[in-house]
Amino acid sequence: MNSDEANEANSVANEAEVADLPAFFTQALARAREEGKPLVLDFHAQWCVPCKRIERETFADPDVAGLLKQCILLKIDTDEHPDVAKHFGVVGLPDIRLLAPNGEQQRQLLGFQDTETMQAELQTLIAEVSREP
């Protein structure tokens, strides 16, 4: 598999794939493309203790919250939207995906993410997106 094929495999930008996803996702992806912002997918569930901790500690941190304002944040409850979780191959929670505006996955963060890690990952993602033509 060459790098173009690998990028295609990691991308949700393929029209057929996007058509199979719910409207809330396709609308968020369209907004990310339009605004040139990265898309952050937060896969979580109500019963997930580390997910609640990320929400309460990490996402609530002022620095992280400020960086998330430069992104399109999409919170996806895997119990309510198992089709989206399956599409992305989510097998454990929390699972955070960082996508370029075109839908190409840049990174996957598994498990609890502290504020420092999340801040560094978001800064890198935003910098990469701002360098794209």
Q: What CATH number does the domain containing 19 carry?
A: 3.40.30.10
Q: What is the pLDDT of residue 20?
A: 74
Could you confirm whether 71 is annotated as catalytic?
A: no
**3-state DSSP call for residue 5?**
helix
pTM: 0.85
Domain that holds residue 46: 3-131
Instruction: Report d(CA 24, CA 21) in Å as an integer.
Output: 8
Which residue among the candidates 51, 72, 84, 125 is catalytic per the annotation? 51
In tens digits, what is the pLDDT along the chain, a chain of 133 residues? 333 333 444 444 445 466 678 999 999 999 999 999 999 999 999 999 999 999 999 999 999 999 999 999 999 999 999 999 999 999 999 999 999 999 999 999 999 999 999 999 999 999 999 886 6
Q: What is the pLDDT of residue 130?
A: 87
Q: What is the pLDDT of residue 132?
A: 67
Residue 125: strand pairing partners: none
In the chain, the number of structural domains is: 1
Which residue among the candidates 40, 41, 48, 118 is catalytic per the annotation? 48
Please list, in sequence order, all residues whose beta carbon lies within 8 angstroms of the beta carbon of residue 121, skipping any fewer than 6 positions away. Answer: 98, 107, 109, 113
Instruction: Report d(CA 75, CA 40) in Å as an integer.
Output: 8
